[in-house]
Amino acid sequence: SSLVSYGAPVRIAGLKVDQIIKKVEPLDIIVRRGHVVVILNKEQVIESCLHCDKYKKGLQGGVRIRRLKEVLAEIMEQRIPVDSYEDKVEEGEKKFVIRRWYKQLKVE
């Protein structure tokens, strides 16, 4: 996905979940190849999910709102936070980035 390089990077390399949460802003996107999560605020994200809950009838796909801290912790169990998708990681390691795709608008 070209979203891994869209907009400006949020510098997250080497940070822990709570440190990353302090750096994000509403509408930043958490991106890894094949998946995007939109940050709503310091506590929530919204994401599409093909199989939200494959064991409960009627919950096989759609969009859901989840806790930001939970989502970041889940991602970081399997991926490393990097500033750019071009950053090198150890062989076999997977990565993710956070991108800021909009510019701050001044309200007058």
CB 47 within 8 A of CB 31: no
For residues 24-37, b (16+ Cβ closer than 10 Å) or e, as one string? beeebbbbbeeeeb
Give residue 34's pLDDT: 82
pLDDT digit string (tens) for 54-108? 666 655 567 888 999 999 999 999 999 999 988 888 888 999 999 998 875 555 5
**16-65: per-residue pLDDT in tens?**
999 999 999 999 999 998 889 999 999 999 998 776 666 666 555 678 88
pTM, rounded to two decimals:
0.84
Q: What is the pLDDT of residue 50?
A: 72
Domain ranges of the chain: 2-100
Please report the pLDDT score of residue 64 as a whole number: 84
